[in-house]
């Protein structure tokens, strides 16, 4: 509703207990008679437009929950202190609220106070009277200090000060919050912790990411119940204190982005540690003591570029489930890795490892082995066949020459990309494969001579579960049996020397064709009745040749994309009437876009990087068009005849150096967004006649 108000209630008290007016965006004011709802226990005014509460709200003696979040309230009445049974007060994102009344301290039953995102800069001293308060949320407020009296909140369990960037120091009295279990100081201006923090015997979670802390107090070791400690991004921390080894209850430790250059052997004392994140540290080694972390399940060493080797004691981490080594300096794995009987995931993308130890075949529970981008990796041990639970094997962008003749039949996803590839496994034995990415082509040079014969790929046709197939191979033909694939939904073909191709599986919903040439003998596509997305990339076939593929008969096709193709016009393509999206990107020979008038369902037209384009004909006939986006079309000067595009909501013209302007668009009643940037636009007067979005 636009503008709404509540009716005045009768003088006789009503029995209403719950009143939910949340998201009533037209509600701006509450009647004084609201105070007659003497039985009201819950009042929700969130996302309304009220700016004040009536003084009579103090009459709601039974009110237990008051939600004012996301309102425009500017102040709370002093009489709010009369709500003696109020337990929850939610003021989240009341950005106009700058101050709290002293009477707030009279809310003796309050257990939860949410001031997240308010405009307050200080707490009233009377807050110390909230003896029942359990949770105080000051996230992203302008608080610069906490009152000393906060120590009297003896039942406080959760204190959130995250993003209070004006808060530079904590009072010593913080140590008297003996019930505190969760303290969040992330992204504050804090530069040190008081020694009294060691008195917080019940503290279970301490969150300190991206603070200016340079040292940790020795008293931290007395936090005997601390389970979670995050020091992420504390760039001022240079040394890992041995005292952290005394936090025997710690289960999660996050050290990513600190400046620690070594981890002491004392870390092995954290016997309950389950999760250890030491991403992007400058460490050169892990201590042998890390092997004592018998409960560790997740070890994250991502981006530790100085770390070349893992200790043999790694094999003692019998509970380890996930090991992250991506973008580290690791050049080899220890043989002891085979002892990690519970390991399910190894991610080691873009490391300089040359080979995998044969002991990797002992990881009977391993499900994911991701070595993508390991450009020095040349060999995969045959013992990998023994990984009977392996689902995902990623060897993309490696220099693997030969895959073992047998891979685990449990594989559902296999990705192999290597210009050195000479041997592939028997695909007919991988009956659980759902996704296959296979490439022996160089990323930059399409004439690399592949060494895989088409006959070696015949087994792919027998994959009854295969749904997603990418072939980027230097093969000249594809097996005729490929047509019988009944489950294949996505096909990506990049075969530079492909001369012939059998009919494609009729089950396809997405098809991407790369590097098609005039000599390529493609089958007609008219049998692809379920195809919704068709992409041509870097193709040099004549327009009429592509037009004869039967694209016009694809009644389910909703999107066509041309990228870096040598097409000169679209007339010969015979685009289907079902098309909802047309994208043309970097087609440098195309000077005119035409043949669009029959596309009455087209919603999105996107043209970019087509530098020779001078005209888009029949644009004004696309009556369903909602989005028109044109970028980097240097020769395009004008857009004309748009007056019929009654559904057009967005026009974007970017970096079209010679673009002068748009014809009259004052009739475009649905237009909400008009962006024109880095163009040579001469006349913008037409913009003033547009009634945007009305």
Distance CA(375)–CA(356), nearest Å, equals 13
Average pLDDT value for residue range 502-527: 86
What are the CA-CA distances from residue 116 to residues 51, 56, 186 (Å)? 18, 26, 14
DSSP E strand boundaries for 190-308 = 205-207, 228-230, 252-254, 275-277, 298-300
pLDDT digits (tens, 9 = 90+) for 58-80: 999 999 999 999 999 999 999 99
Tokens of 119: 């405009």
**179 with 203: CB under 8 angstroms?**
no
pLDDT at 407: 94
**104 with 82: CB under 8 angstroms?**
no
pLDDT at 689: 43
Higher-confidence residue of 235 and 419: namely 235
C-alpha dihedral, 91 to 93 to 94 to 97, nearest 10°: 90
Q: Taking Cα atoms as reference points, which of 224, 215, 173, 153 lies closest to residue 190?
A: 215
Phi, psi of 369, rounded to the nearest 5 degrees: -125, 105
Distance CA(125)–CA(129), nearest Å, equals 9
Distance CA(398)–CA(413), nearest Å, equals 17
Distance CA(346)–CA(188), nearest Å, equals 35
Distance CA(302)–CA(104), nearest Å, equals 48
Average pLDDT value for residue range 278-291: 96
Beta strand 205-207 with 228-230: parallel, antiparallel or unpaired? Answer: parallel
**If pLDDT is split at 50, 70 and 90, which confidence band does 449 have?**
very low
- State pTM to two decimals: 0.86
Distance CA(323)–CA(286), nearest Å, equals 14
Tally Cβ neighbours within 10 Å of residue 677. Answer: 11
Per the listing, tokens 């493609």 go with 522
Per the listing, tokens 């759902």 go with 434
DSSP letters for 317-328: -TT--EEE-TTS
Residue 444: CB partners within 8 Å, gap ≥ 6? Answer: none
Q: Taking Cα atoms as reference points, which of 89, 130, 88 lies closest to residue 106?
A: 130
Average pLDDT value for residue range 364-370: 98
CA atoms within a 13 Å half-sphere pointing along the CA-CB vector of 691:
4
Kindly state the helix (H) or strand (E) to which residue 67 belongs, with its residue range.
strand 65-67
Per the listing, tokens 């008009």 go with 674
**386 with 406: CB under 8 angstroms?**
no
pLDDT digits (tens, 9 = 90+) for 550-589: 888 999 999 999 999 988 878 767 889 999 999 999 999 9
Residue 342: CB partners within 8 Å, gap ≥ 6? Answer: 297, 318, 319, 320, 321, 365
Tokens of 64: 């237990």
pLDDT-wise least confident of 177-181, 295-299, 494-498: 494-498
Q: Nearest 5 degrees, angle CA 128-CA 193-CA 243?
A: 130
Among 236-240, 470-474, 627-631, which range has the highest average pLDDT? Answer: 627-631
Distance CA(125)–CA(149), nearest Å, equals 7
Tally Cβ neighbours within 10 Å of residue 359. Answer: 18
Tokens of 478: 């594809």
**If pLDDT is split at 50, 70 and 90, which confidence band does 128 have?**
very high
Q: Nearest 5 degrees, angle CA 484-CA 486-CA 491?
A: 90
Per the listing, tokens 């400690």 go with 229
* Average pLDDT score, the chain: 90
Distance CA(86)–CA(66), nearest Å, equals 8
**If pLDDT is split at 50, 70 and 90, which confidence band does 529 have?**
very high
Phi, psi of 58, rounded to the nearest 5 degrees: -65, -10
Residue 685: CB partners within 8 Å, gap ≥ 6? Answer: none
**514 with 491: CB under 8 angstroms?**
no
Tokens of 172: 């010593």
**If pLDDT is split at 50, 70 and 90, which confidence band does 487 have?**
confident
DSSP E strand boundaries for 360-505 = 368-370, 392-395, 413-417, 435-439, 468-472, 490-494
pLDDT at 686: 47
**Bridge partner residues of 653 (DSSP):** 630, 676
Average pLDDT value for residue range 449-460: 60
- What CATH topology corresponds to 580-689? 3.80.10
**409 with 429: CB under 8 angstroms?**
yes
pLDDT for 445 beyond 80:
no
pLDDT for 155 beyond 60:
yes
Residue 262: CB partners within 8 Å, gap ≥ 6? Answer: 240, 283, 284, 285
pLDDT-wise least confident of 222-231, 265-274, 540-549, 635-644: 540-549
Higher-confidence residue of 547 and 237: namely 237
pLDDT digits (tens, 9 = 90+) for 96-122: 999 999 999 999 999 999 999 999 999
pLDDT digits (tens, 9 = 90+) for 78-90: 999 999 999 999 9
Distance CA(239)–CA(262), nearest Å, equals 7
Tokens of 337: 């890795």
C-alpha dihedral, 94 to 91 to 202 to 269, nearest 10°: -40
pLDDT for 667 beyond 70:
yes
Distance CA(331)–CA(648), nearest Å, equals 56
Q: Rounded to a whole number, what is the largest CA-CA distance in the chain?
A: 91
**If pLDDT is split at 50, 70 and 90, which confidence band does 300 have?**
very high
Average pLDDT value for residue range 265-291: 96
Distance CA(91)–CA(104), nearest Å, equals 13
pLDDT for 459 beyond 60:
yes
**530 with 508: CB under 8 angstroms?**
yes
DSSP letters for 23-44: T-TTB----GGGGG-TT--EEE
HEC-encoded secondary structure of 561-586: EEECCCCCCCHHHCCCCCCCEEEEEC
């Amino acid at each position: 509703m636009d503008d709404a108000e509540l009716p005045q209630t009768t003088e006789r008290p009503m029995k209403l207990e719950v009143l939910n007016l949340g998201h009533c965006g037209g509600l701006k004011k509450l009647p004084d008679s609201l105070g007659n709802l003497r039985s009201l226990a819950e009042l929700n005014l969130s996302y309304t437009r009220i700016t004040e509460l009536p003084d009579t709200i103090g009459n709601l003696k039974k009110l237990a929950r008051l939600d004012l979040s996301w309102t425009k309230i500017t102040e709370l009445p002093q009489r709010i202190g009369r709500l003696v049974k109020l337990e929850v007060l939610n003021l989240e994102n009341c950005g106009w609220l700058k101050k709290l009344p002293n009477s707030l301290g009279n809310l003796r039953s309050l257990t939860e106070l949410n001031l997240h995102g308010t405009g307050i800069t200080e707490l009233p001293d009377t807050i110390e009277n909230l003896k029942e308060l359990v949770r105080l949320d000051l996230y992203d407020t302008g608080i610069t200090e906490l009152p000393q009296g906060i120590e009297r909140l003896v039942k406080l369990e959760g204190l959130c000060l995250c993003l209070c960037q004006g808060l530079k120091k904590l009072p010593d009295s913080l140590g008297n919050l003996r019930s505190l279990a969760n303290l969040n100081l992330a992204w504050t201006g804090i530069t040190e912790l008081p020694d009294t923090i060691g008195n917080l015997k019940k503290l279970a979670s301490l969150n300190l990411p991206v603070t200016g802390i340079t040292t940790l107090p020795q008293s931290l070791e007395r936090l005997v119940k601390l389970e979670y400690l995050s020091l992420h991004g504390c760039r001022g921390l240079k040394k890992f204190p041995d005292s952290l080894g005394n936090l025997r209850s710690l289960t999660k430790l996050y050290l990513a982005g600190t400046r620690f250059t070594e981890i002491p052997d004392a870390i092995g004392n954290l016997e309950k540690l389950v999760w250890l994140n030491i991403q992007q540290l400058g460490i050169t080694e892990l201590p042998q003591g890390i092997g004592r972390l018998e409960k560790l399940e997740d070890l994250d060493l991502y981006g530790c570029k100085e770390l070349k080797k893992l200790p043999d004691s790694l094999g003692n981490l019998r509970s380890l489930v996930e090991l992250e080594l991506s973008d580290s300096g690791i050049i080899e794995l220890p043989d002891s890795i085979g002892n990690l009987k519970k390991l399910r995931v190894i991610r080691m993308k873009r490391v300089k490892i040359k080979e995998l130890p044969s002991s990797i075949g002992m990881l009977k529970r391993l499900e994911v082995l991701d070595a993508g981008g390991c450009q020095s990796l040349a060999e995969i041990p045959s013992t990998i066949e023994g990984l009977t639970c392996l689902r995902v094997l990623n060897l993309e962008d490696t220099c693997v020459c030969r895959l073992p003749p047998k891979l685990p039949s449990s594989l559902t996803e296999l990705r192999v990309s290597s210009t050195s590839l000479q041997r592939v496994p028997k695909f007919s034995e991988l009956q659980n494969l759902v996704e296959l990415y296979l490439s022996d082509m160089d990323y930059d040079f399409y004439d690399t001579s592949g060494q895989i014969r088409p006959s070696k790929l015949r087994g792919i046709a027998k994959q009854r579960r295969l749904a997603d197939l990418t072939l980027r191979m230097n093969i000249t033909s594809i097996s005729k049996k490929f047509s019988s694939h009944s489950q294949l939904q996505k096909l990506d073909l990049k075969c530079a020397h492909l001369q012939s191709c059998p009919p494609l599986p009729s089950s396809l919903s997405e098809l991407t064709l790369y590097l098609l040439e005039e000599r390529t003998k493609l089958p007609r596509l008219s049998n692809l009745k379920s195809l919704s997305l068709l992409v041509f990339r870097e193709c040099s076939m004549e327009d009429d040749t592509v037009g004869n593929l039967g694209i016009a008969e694809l009644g389910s096709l909703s999107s066509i994309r041309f990228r870096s193709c040598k097409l000169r016009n679209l007339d010969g393509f015979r685009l289907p009437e079902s098309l909802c999206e047309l994208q043309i990107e970097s087609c440098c020979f195309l000077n005119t876009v035409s043949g669009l008038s029959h596309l009455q369902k087209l919603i999105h037209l996107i043209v970019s990087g087509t530098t020779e384009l001078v005209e888009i004909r029949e644009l004004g006939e696309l009556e369903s068009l909602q989005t028109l986006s044109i970028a980097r079309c240097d020769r395009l000067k004008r857009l004309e005849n748009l007056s019929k595009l009654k559904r057009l909501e967005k026009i974007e013209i970017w970096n079209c150096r010679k673009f002068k302007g748009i014809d009259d668009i004052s009739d475009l009643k649905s237009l909400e967004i008009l962006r024109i940037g880095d163009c040579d636009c001469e006349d913008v007067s037409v913009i003033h006649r547009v009634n945007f979005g009305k």
